[in-house]
Structure formats: structure tokens, C-alpha cells
Amino acid sequence: MADENIIMGHAEDNDGIEEYDNSLPDWWLALFFACIIWGGIYAVMYHGYQQTSQEKLYLAEVAAAEEQWGGAAEVDLAAVEITPELIAAGEPIFTQNCVACHAADLTGGVGPNLVDEEWIHGGEYADIVKTVTDGVPAKGMLTWGPILGDEKVRQVSAYVYSKSHQAN
């Protein structure tokens, strides 16, 4: 650096600390301006031309997932046919997971009676599937969806539905 050190001369205001007033080093200025130019280019690329902003990546991923799995999760429950096979498949699932609270004859215990006319969350097949899938965690009814998976939930719900509609 060719410059002489220039002193600001207000050390008495600053606990005796002197401050230089030298011009900024060239390397520092070069970095500074390079950053400004880079920032401009980056902003234009990011908001304007570039294809890989986070938003676009996200939308592309969602579109790909939609293509791969789309529709599969959407089952029209009202249209599910409650076949004897579906009910039969549900029985052992009920025995294994549900009797502790709803009893083997479904008349209830910790959990409510499932074969009387009273329903807290609705007694249609779609209602039962929804209650079993989502559970009622605040009341001690587990969220079975992730535990059993959609298919088993549909089977065990068919079993509950058939039992309750037999009794009535």
C-alpha cells in the first residue's frame, strides 16, 4: 500500500484508540464489487431464468410423485364393496388389536360399544374407516392408519361395520 497512514485524530473521544482513515485495499475493493456483480447475476438467474429454484424443484418433485402414486391414495369409500372376504380378513385384525378396548363381542370396555345404535363419530362404513385411520388420540383411540396401513384398516372396519349392522 503506497498511502501514508492517515490518522482521524479523535482518539480522545475513544478511550485513546486511534483510527486510521486509509483508502481500502485493492483486493478488498475487488472482492466488494465482485460480490455486487455476482449478486445481480444471481438475482436475475434465480428469479428469472433459472430452472432449479427451490420452488421449481419442489413443484417438479410433487408432479413426479403425483405421476407415480397419484390416485392410489384416493379410494372412494362409499363405493367399497363390503364382501365376506373383506370382513373375514378383518376379524383377526380386530382380535389382535381392538378387543382389549372394544371387547371380543364389540360391546365395549375402555372403548365404546360398537354394536349399539350410538355412534360418536358415525356408523357408516366411511365414518368407521375415518375414525380408525385417524383415531381419537385425545380419548385413547389410537391413530391406526399408519400402524395397520390402508388395506388392513379397510378390512377391520368392514368387520366392525358388518357386526354393528348385524346387531341392529
Binds ligand HEC by CB under 6 A, chosen from 136, 145, 150, 167: 136
Residues between 43 and 72 with contacts to ligand HEC, criterion CB under 6 A: none
Strand partners, 141: 136
Is residue 150 within 8 A of residue 72, CB to CB? The reply is: no
Q: Report helix, strand or coil for 141.
A: strand
What track of x and - describes contact with ligand HEC for positions 67 through 106 (by CB under 6 A)? ---------------------------x--xx-xxx----
Residue whose cell numbers read 456483480: 37
Residue 105 CA, chain-centre distance (Å), reads 36
Q: What is the spatial distance between Cα 21 and Cα 10, in angstroms, rounded to a whole number?
A: 11
Q: Which range, of 36-44, 45-53, 60-68, 129-137, touches ligand HEC by CB under 6 A?
A: 129-137
| Nearest of 160, 109, 103 to residue 131 by alpha carbon | 160
- Kindly tell me which residue out of 156, 158, 162, 163 binds ligand HEC, with binding defined by CB under 6 A: 156
Do the Cβ atoms of 133 and 153 come closer than 8 Å?
Answer: yes
- The secondary structure element, H or E, covering residue 131 is helix 125-134
Q: Does 163 bind ligand HEC (CB under 6 A)?
A: no
Choose between 75 and 126: whose C-beta lies nearer to ligand HEC: 126
Tell me how far, at minimum, the Cβ of 161 lies from ligand HEC, in Å.
9
* Chain positions contacting ligand HEC, by CB under 6 A: 94, 97-98, 100-102, 110-112, 114, 119-121, 128, 131-132, 136, 139-142, 144, 156, 160
